[in-house]
């Protein structure tokens, strides 16, 4: 009986970090390039095997705008808005923007990392919570004259943030797994593949 209860508890703890996703929506912000939207759509469909729909373009909500170090939109605020306005017919929504986004970077105890002047409003490629129903990705910090490299980066980051929404944590097993922590470096993004390692794939299937 004790073993059965222990198994049930472990199963519950594991499943609480994962969500079942059958349909993902893409929310383009502003005049986001429709060809890139289509590329992200096909990537998510192929990799995660889910239906992906594209919502009508929307303006970035001004309630998420800040101008502390530079004009930016708070990624955590955008995630909350995306989750709140998510159509009931979809399980998860990803916002795409060309403008800069940021969040507050904290340590393992929840305190703002030092120096606070740097991490209090920290620019990011994208942000998604684990698990969650929404995430957001920006092209602002990954621009490159090599369009192929730029698109590769963007697809990887979109796949990474959706992976967090599905319940995946940062991967330490596969050296080229798309769920590896970028560790504040774009070179990390360039070094991974557009795929999950066997361990991460098993966790969501």
Report d(CA 116, CA 113) in Å as an integer. 6
What was the pLDDT predicted at 187?
95
Report d(CA 23, CA 165) in Å as an integer. 13
Task: Identify the band that residue 21 occupies on the pLDDT scale cut at 50, 70 and 90.
Answer: confident
The CB-side HSE value for 115 (13 A sphere, CA atoms) comes to: 2
Considering only 105-109, 120-124, 146-150, which range has the smallest mean pLDDT?
105-109
At residue 7, does pLDDT exceed 90? no
Choose from 10-14, 108-112, 195-199 the range with maximum mean pLDDT: 195-199
What was the pLDDT predicted at 15?
42
Across residues 90-119, what is the average pLDDT?
93
CB-neighbour burial class of residue 5 (10 A; exposed 0-12, middle 13-18, buried 19+): exposed
Question: pLDDT digit string (tens) for 27-58?
Answer: 999 999 999 999 999 999 999 999 999 999 99
At residue 140, does pLDDT exceed 90? yes
Report d(CA 187, CA 205) in Å as an integer. 29
The residue behind tokens 């070179």 is 187
The residue behind tokens 């990954």 is 142
At residue 10, does pLDDT exceed 60? no
Flag whether the pTM goes above 0.85.
Answer: yes
Q: What is the dihedral of CA 127, 174, 38, 133, to 10 degrees?
A: -40
Q: What domains can be seen in the chain, in order of their start residue? A: 19-170 (3.40.390.10)
Instruction: Copy the structure tokens of residue 181.
Output: 């922590």
Instruction: Copy the structure tokens of residue 205.
Output: 């299937």
What was the pLDDT predicted at 86?
97
């Amino acid at each position: 009986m004790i073993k059965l209860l222990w198994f049930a508890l472990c199963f519950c703890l594991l499943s609480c970090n994962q969500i079942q996703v059958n349909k993902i929506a893409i929310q383009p912000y502003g005049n986001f390039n429709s060809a890139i939207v289509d590329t992200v759509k096909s990537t998510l469909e192929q990799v995660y095997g889910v239906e992906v729909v594209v919502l009508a373009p929307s303006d970035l909500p001004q309630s998420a705008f800040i101008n502390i170090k530079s004009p930016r939109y708070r990624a955590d605020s955008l995630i909350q808005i995306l989750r709140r306005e998510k159509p009931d017919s979809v399980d998860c929504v990803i916002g795409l923007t060309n403008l800069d986004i940021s969040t507050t970077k904290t340590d393992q105890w929840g305190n703002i990392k030092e120096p606070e002047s740097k991490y209090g409003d920290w620019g990011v490629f994208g942000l998604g919570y684990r698990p969650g129903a929404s995430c957001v990705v920006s092209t602002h910090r990954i621009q490159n004259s090599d369009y192929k490299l730029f698109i590769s980066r963007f697809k990887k980051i979109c796949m990474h943030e959706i992976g967090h929404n599905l319940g995946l944590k940062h991967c330490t097993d596969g050296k080229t797994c798309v769920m590896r922590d970028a560790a504040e470096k774009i070179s990390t993004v360039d070094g991974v593949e557009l795929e999950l390692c066997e361990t991460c794939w098993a966790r969501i299937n």
